[in-house]
Amino acid sequence: MSIHIKTPEEIEKIRVAGQLAAEVLQMIGEHVKSGVTTQEINDICHDYIVNTQNAIPAPLNYRGFPRSVCTSINHQVCHGIPGGRVLKDGDTVNIDITVIKDEFHGDTSKMFYVGKPTVKAQRLIDLTYEAMCTGINMVKPDVTLGDIGHAIQTFVEKNKCSVVREYCGHGIGKNFHEDPQVLHYGKPNSGDKLAPGMTFTIEPMVNAGKRHVRLLPDQWTVVTKDHSLSAQWEHTILVTEDGFEVLTRRPEEYWA
């Protein structure tokens, strides 16, 4: 296994796919409201990706996943399967979008809430966004993956929350998931060094309680063992000559 350095042509295709994925997250915001089912959210995203973007929703049939997006509510950590669950006031929901355009992938997720979040939920959501940014802001050539994981873990644990260990970020390109594995915990100065042209996701899953997770019998939905709230944000990142580019950036997001 080795980390594929992308050519400028490949990078442009990932950038295009990344922007499509980001646009799906912007489009779906107004639909995330009380009374809507996660199946309806899935169907709106599916229709938009297929018919408006002329792209492919990567999750559909990926290793048997039965829907086009992942929707993970409250104590669900990731890979929630859209279905009949009706969103209600106070729910938090991660929507994870992966689009394939011209054979290349863009992968990004965002936290939404229905109605007004509790103070605790808002705090977890904000802290998890900051954890992702802590990792993103470190990206530049010669930094190690261990440096990034360590910084994310340190930030999260300082805030009395925990990092899920069983799932991680990943290289991305022609493949949905490829080398390297981007752990959201680790030791400084360990693991592969970043180099220009690498593309990978940073997507920390942070629990308000303990880090342990359980897989539901549907074989996809991951939940916190202690039923504590969980949050996740995800971006697809390019390593540039002197730093990074967020390939799935939305207009409301800025990096110095």
Residue corresponding to tokens 């996809």: 220
R_g (Cα) of the chain, nearest Å: 17
Shortest Cβ 232–Co ion spacing (Å): 9
Sheet architecture: strand order including 169-171: 178-182, 169-171, 199-202, 235-239, 244-246
**Which of 96, 128, 152, 206 forms a contact with ligand MF3 (CB under 6 A)?**
96
3-state secondary structure of 72: strand
Continuous segment of H or E residues that includes residue 171: strand 169-171
Region near ligand MF3 per CB under 6 A, out of 29-37, 40-48, 62-70, 247-255: 62-70
Task: Evaluate whether 200 touches 108 at the Cβ level (below 8 Å).
Answer: no
Shortest Cβ 164–Co ion spacing (Å): 13
Between CA 48 and CA 57 the distance in angstroms is 10
The amino acid occupying position 254 is Y
Residue 203 is a binding residue for ligand MF3 (CB under 6 A) = yes
Q: Pick the closest to residue 231 from 215, 207, 202 (CA basis).
A: 207
Tally of CB atoms within 10 A around 147: 21
Map the footprint of Co ion across residues 107-166, applying CB under 5 A. 107
Map the footprint of Co ion across residues 51-110, applying CB under 5 A. 96, 107
Residue corresponding to tokens 């799932």: 167
**Which of 22, 28, 44, 70 forms a contact with ligand MF3 (CB under 6 A)?**
70
Residue 59 is a binding residue for ligand MF3 (CB under 6 A) = yes
Residue 234 is a binding residue for ligand MF3 (CB under 6 A) = yes
Residue nearest to ligand MF3 (CB): 59
**Which of 46, 79, 150, 235 forms a contact with ligand MF3 (CB under 6 A)?**
79
Between CA 186 and CA 138 the distance in angstroms is 14
Shortest Cβ 43–ligand MF3 spacing (Å): 16
Shortest Cβ 47–ligand MF3 spacing (Å): 18
Residue 98 is a binding residue for ligand MF3 (CB under 6 A) = yes
Interacting residues toward ligand MF3 by CB under 6 A: 59, 62-63, 65, 70, 79, 96, 98, 107, 201, 203, 234
